[in-house]
Structure 1
Amino acid sequence: MIVPHNSTGQPWRRPMPARDPNEVHRQASFLELFFDLCFVIAVAQAASSLHHALAEEHFAAGILSYLTVFFAIWWAWMNFTWFASSYDNDDVPYRVAAMVQIVGALILAAGVPRAFEIHQFDVVFLGYAVMRVGLVALWLRAAMGDTARRITALRYAGGISAAMIGWAVMLFSGEWPLWGWWLMAAVEMTVPIWAERGGNTPWHPHHIAERYGLFTIIVLGESVLATTLAVQSALGDQGASPALLRIIGGGLLIVFSLWWLYFAKPAQRFLTSNRLAFLWGYGHYFIFASVAAVGAGLAVNVDHVTGHSALSNTAAGAAVTVPVAVYLFVLWMLHIRPHRTGLASALLFLATVAVILVATFSPWPIPIAGLATAALVAISVALSAHLQR
């Protein structure tokens, strides 16, 4: 039986105090894992839409739509993740508010294809509105329970509500200009920065690092699933060809290497301030988006070698090599460089990025990218072992 944290006979009457940022053995809850699982449905929808857009040679529109839709998914996930790190007391009202946000996430996921294909964000907006009802309620409850940070909690509640009004104005005006969309995205990202100036929320470094790591694993899993489904379809049509086997082998090396490199260094060691946390947390947009895009790109390459897409070999290869290169570069900037790993590590990562990008123009871009990332893992492990002697 799971006993809610801080539970009593009438948990709904308890205030919501802040959690201890130095709490030992702080781990992600079962509710948070369930929350992530529901969000990955939206990620899968976005990646699938990107796959079809690229396979049909709608490069600019497909990539732009993917980046905007993925921002909506990532930002909604991140808002709850950081709140939960500071105030998760796991009582009845908290669980209900979290489940309201899960309902909103499922509505958002249902609206992803519509937003992606025809730029209609009405269903996505509805999902956001439902999620924000649950999140604002939690921030208002935190304002009542954590008097020391009441201003911060009220700023979050007010800023989130004001941003939703801005989205509503855009929706009901009948137009979604791209500049307006990114303007509102900038407003959304400004809310936490402004709110935290009223007093830092007590987020837990180890818990935040674990939450981001778990979501990275889930998104990697979605990439594996997308590739598996594409390969399954190809095998049913034509059987295993050498070209298909090269994609499978190279794709597995890439996915395994991306996982290995992400968890090579513990992020909680350098999450020591809001400034660093904002940079690290916001930068993960590119990590999550590129990981999901890798799965879409591998599926595109399966379509290419089985004759279901008229893409050139270079364009198909770029669908994988570009997101892998983005992932490695951002990972080094956010996750590796803060550990002061030295010039050798920096040159190794940058050289690998260059090799992968050049591989785009080769006959076998996926196997070369897979071997390059695997070599990066092997050399990084050897360097780490040498430095520990």
Structure 2
Amino acid sequence: MSDHPHDHPDTSGTGAVGGPSNSDRSGMAGKTGRTGKRSLSRRLIPMTGRDPEEHERTSSPLELLFDLTFVVAVGTAASHFAEMVAAGHAGQAVTAFLLAMFAISVAWISFSWFASAFGTDDWLYRALTMLQMIGVVVFSLGLPAMFHSVEEGGHLELRAMVIGYVVMRIAMVLQWWRAARESPAFHDVGVANIRWTVVVQVGWVLVAFSHLPLAAVFAAFIVLGALELALPLLTQGGAGDTPWHPHHVAERYGLFAIITLGEGVVGTIASSGDLLGGGDGTHWSGNAIAIVIAGVGLTFGMWWVYFSTPFGDILTHRRGRGYLFGYGHIPLFIGIAGAGAGLHVAGLQLEHHSELSDVAVVLSLAIPVGLYLLMVYLLHTLLLSAADRFHLLLISLTLAVLLVAVLLAAAGVAIAVCLLVVMLAPFVTVIGYETVGYRHQEQMLKSLGTLSSGTDA
């Protein structure tokens, strides 16, 4: 099943929390404001909110360009994570990687949900998006210093990362100010977003530029991180009070998953490049071949699993679960990027540039793959409010495959073979869905449509 905008039914009646329905609000805008299509006159388009039921809504070229800046951020974080793990600093590596991926995900989520609800694609909107892209690049340039500071201990270097965030959030505040000014229906939501965004960002600036003890910095991280996650709840009722488009949001997350999955391919290249015999790229070792097969196969299998769930159709019926869908993807993205880094770790081990045991190397790949697959199943279960034995069977078999890979490594089996076993994990779901799973899921979706007709479940 696919997430195409023309597949979803009429959702009038699934209105915003504590206010008029989104279709009523977007109707205040006029046709140009609802669709966000650019006029030939190049004039500014009133930012009055998009139509959440707009047909054929897809990602814009500007959104795709914006996503490319995050390739640098994810790639930098995954590369430094792999090198730190291979050097035997697994604890510090995990800490730095989680901080980096959390910050990357929050920045991307902030833009994407606003764009789904208010994107006009006029010249001012494009200029502010470019400013955000500059912020992402500055943020990415600060990642190596942060990883190095975590590895060395004593302090946490966040200044460049926070400066990048300040640039991004100046743009977002201006976008929300425009929405609040041009759309009376969303004035309060816009003002609340401006207020809380500034409060949280001031907190990050104080942490980055103050000489606080490391323990105090991590305590502040917990508080400010919780506030970051709570922003939609504090400002718009869990993202239910803006006219975001369910199929557009689902497509955007799918595209970001693909970008992050690209790290699997990058990890494969990084892992196999130095394993070529003779250095001329014409004499491949068995280890190089195994890593290429495992990396590409694993990337393809993880992609297949993600797009087996029609998140757009689910969000159409479960609009009130937008917050869960949006932020529930953060550990999923961490798992995807971590899998690419795990492939890189395996390559470093086979090149004898690692301090890890074979079991630890296999775990560095199996753990993020397991996290990713668990999150796909957990999101499916929570969004549908339906746990069932079929999905429990599939995830149990999946985890069993990953456990077998680790046990084989402990028994002394070659790492290349263990990687190929890890590669099989997502294909448990693929085979399950291609045989009976899609019919089973269709029945669940039909039941969801019956239960949630006219309201959010």
- Aligning the two structures, in what range does the TM-score lie when normalised by the shorter sequence? over 0.9
Residues 247 and 336 of structure 1, relative CA distance in 2, 3 Å threshold: farther
Residues 237 and 137 of structure 1, relative CA distance in 2, 3 Å threshold: farther
- Tell me how far apart the structure 2 counterparts of residues 209 and 285 of structure 1 sit (CA, whole Å): 14
2:390 aligned with 1:344, yes or no?
A: yes
Deviations 1:243-286 (A, max 9, x none): 33222222222111100000012101221455411111111111
Residues 227 and 7 of structure 1, relative CA distance in 2, 3 Å threshold: same
Counterpart for residue 301 of structure 1: 346
2:110 aligned with 1:79, yes or no?
A: yes
Number of residue pairs matched by the alignment = 386
Match of 1:9 among 34, 41, 64: 41
Tell me which moved more, 209-218 or 374-383.
Answer: 374-383
Q: Could you tell me which amino acid in structure 2 is paired with residue 383 of structure 1?
A: V
TM (norm. structure 2) is 0.80
Counterpart for residue 215 of structure 1: 256
**RMSD of the alignment, in Å?**
2.1
Q: Could you tell me which amino acid in structure 1 is paired with residue 324 of structure 2?
A: L
Tell me which moved more, 271-280 or 101-110.
Answer: 271-280
Match of 1:278 among 301, 304, 323: 323
- Tell me how far apart the structure 1 counterparts of residues 423 and 267 of structure 2 sit (CA, whole Å): 17
Counterpart for residue 150 of structure 1: 187
Counterpart for residue 157 of structure 2: 120
TM (norm. structure 1) is 0.94
C-alpha contact 1:163 1:184 (8 A) present in aligned 2: yes
C-alpha contact 1:71 1:285 (8 A) present in aligned 2: yes
Residues 138 and 385 of structure 1, relative CA distance in 2, 3 Å threshold: closer
- Tell me how far apart the structure 2 counterparts of residues 157 and 273 of structure 1 sit (CA, whole Å): 27
- Tell me how far apart the structure 1 counterparts of residues 50 and 305 of structure 2 sit (CA, whole Å): 31
2:253 aligned with 1:253, yes or no?
A: no
C-alpha contact 1:265 1:336 (8 A) present in aligned 2: no
C-alpha contact 2:275 2:287 (8 A) present in aligned 1: no
Match of 1:315 among 341, 357, 360: 360
Q: Could you tell me which amino acid in structure 2 is paired with residue 226 of structure 1?
A: G
C-alpha contact 2:267 2:341 (8 A) present in aligned 1: yes
Residues 95 and 386 of structure 1, relative CA distance in 2, 3 Å threshold: closer
Counterpart for residue 435 of structure 2: 382
Structure 2 segments unaligned to the other structure (5+ residues): 1-34, 150-155, 444-457
- Give, in angstroms, the shift of residue 192 of structure 1: 1.2
1:127-276 aligned within 5 A: 127-175=164-212, 177-197=217-237, 200-235=241-276, 239-271=283-315, 272-273=317-318, 275-276=320-321
Q: Which entry has the higher C-alpha Rg, 1 or 2?
A: 2
SS of the residue 2:72 aligns to:
helix
2:49 aligned with 1:18, yes or no?
A: yes
Structure 1 segments unaligned to the other structure (5+ residues): none
Tell me which moved more, 328-337 or 285-294.
Answer: 328-337
C-alpha contact 1:227 1:298 (8 A) present in aligned 2: yes
Residues 168 and 310 of structure 1, relative CA distance in 2, 3 Å threshold: closer
1:87-106 aligned within 5 A: 87-106=118-137
SS of the residue 1:264 aligns to:
coil
- Tell me how far apart the structure 2 counterparts of residues 72 and 114 of structure 1 sit (CA, whole Å): 15
- Give, in angstroms, the shift of residue 306 of structure 1: 2.1
C-alpha contact 2:345 2:361 (8 A) present in aligned 1: yes
Residues 236 and 135 of structure 1, relative CA distance in 2, 3 Å threshold: farther
Counterpart for residue 421 of structure 2: 368
- Give, in angstroms, the shift of residue 348 of structure 1: 1.0
Percent of matched pairs sharing the same residue = 34
SS of the residue 2:46 aligns to:
coil
Q: Could you tell me which amino acid in structure 2 is paired with residue 298 of structure 1?
A: L
